[in-house]
Amino acid sequence: MEPTQTLTIKSAEDFGNAVKQARRRERLTQRQLALSVGTGERFIVNLENGKNTAHLGKALEVASALGLKITATYED
């Protein structure tokens, strides 16, 4: 089992980079990931490139499929 890594995500680009890292860790192509979550390859490409128009629900589904745990922390 790989150690847990924590990333601070402040933008769509940060989220896309996290998805890309996780996909590569799982040794999946963008196409394979898209098929596993029932979306198009273009969506995965746009998501990984930080395109702001990605649908949040589908983006979270992709993250979950890759084992990414999303948490929110409030800063004072």
CATH code, domain with 26: 1.10.260.40
The pLDDT score that the predictor gives to residue 76 is 67
Based on the structure, what is the number of domains in the chain?
1
Residues in the chain: 76
State which residues form the domain around 18: 12-65
The pLDDT score that the predictor gives to residue 50 is 92
For residue 5, what pLDDT band results from cuts at 50, 70 and 90?
confident
8 A C-beta contact, residue 42 and residue 49: no
Sequence-separated (6 or more) residues with CB below 8 Å from residue 16? 47, 48, 49, 50, 51
Q: pTM (2 decimals)?
A: 0.82
